[in-house]
């Protein structure tokens, strides 16, 4: 479904991605792991057209999208949940969801939007309770649920999640990962960029580890969980305290 090949992306003169190649098959949940600054967000933004690849290619459903503008990529079926959520704080929860449906065809909006909203509320019941509430008044975990729901309402073929557990309490982070697992059961294809490797690999099929803009390891979730070198590369000197009980 998605393939990047030898992608190089710069921020000014800094090479943020240095020849990144990966693939995501239909129905897979694939983890993109790495420390802060490893290049995860840059890769997500490059796939979405928010950053421009200087070299390499991004192919989605056998179509070259490397240099397409972001709005066209959304219409092809890729939705992003950005790091930091970027909600419209003064607007209600419902209005944020409706804005997520902006890219859908008008006929589709009229016929299926109520059904899809019902599905969103089934997945995130708290959003139904908060539908008329300004998004800025939600808790951090509730805002993350809204950001995911806003992306889902566009009916994406591929969902990109960028650091969904960042900045929220551990108990709410567990709820977010439970919701991602539920999406997996529904057959949603997901690329999950996440620093919390243990939580991400627990719900993913495969994973890639980025370090300074390069893929330094890849494999099934089980392989990466057991690989001591991956543990060290990702977690540093204190990895045993985090990974081992």
Residues of the chain with pLDDT under 70: 105-111, 233-245
Please report the pLDDT score of residue 109 as a whole number: 53
Nearest to 210 by CA among 223, 220, 197: 197
Q: Are 25 and 1 in contact (CB under 8 A)?
A: yes
CATH topology of domain 1-70+191-245: Rossmann fold (3.40.50)
Please report the pLDDT score of residue 236 as a whole number: 46
Strand order in the sheet with 53-60: 14-24, 2-11, 53-60, 63-64
User: Rounded distance, CA 239 to CA 88, Å?
Assistant: 37
**CB 65: neighbour CB atoms within 10 A?**
19
CA 2 to chain centre: 13
Please report the pLDDT score of residue 234 as a whole number: 61
Q: pTM of the predicted model, to two decimals?
A: 0.87
Q: 244 by DSSP, 3-state: which?
A: coil
DSSP conformation class of 124 = -
Q: What percent of the chain has pLDDT over 90?
A: 59
């Amino acid at each position: 479904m998605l393939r990047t090949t030898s992608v190089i992306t710069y921020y000014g003169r800094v090479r943020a991605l240095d020849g990144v190649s990966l693939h995501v098959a239909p129905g897979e949940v694939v983890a993109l792991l790495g420390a802060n600054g490893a290049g995860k967000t840059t890769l997500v933004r490059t796939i979405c057209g928010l950053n421009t690849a200087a070299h390499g290619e991004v192919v989605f459903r056998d179509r070259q999208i490397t240099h397409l503008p972001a709005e066209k990529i959304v219409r092809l079926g890729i939705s992003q949940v950005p790091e930091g959520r970027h909600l419209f704080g003064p607007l209600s929860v419902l209005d944020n969801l409706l804005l997520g449906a902006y890219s859908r065809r008008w006929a589709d909006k009229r016929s299926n939007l109520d059904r899809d909203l019902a599905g969103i509320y089934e997945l995130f019941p708290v959003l139904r309770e908060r539908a008329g509430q300004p998004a800025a008044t939600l808790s951090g975990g509730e805002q993350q649920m809204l950001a995911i729901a806003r992306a889902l309402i566009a009916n994406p073929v591929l969902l990109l999640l960028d650091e969904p557990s960042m900045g929220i309490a551990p108990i709410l982070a567990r709820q977010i990962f439970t919701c991602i697992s539920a999406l997996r059961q529904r057959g949603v294809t997901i690329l999950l960029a996440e620093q919390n490797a243990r939580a991400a690999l627990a719900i993913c099929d495969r994973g890639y580890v980025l370090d300074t803009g390069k893929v330094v390891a890849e494999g099934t979730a089980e392989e990466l969980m057991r690989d001591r070198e991956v543990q060290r590369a990702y977690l540093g000197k204190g990895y045993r305290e985090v990974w081992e009980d």
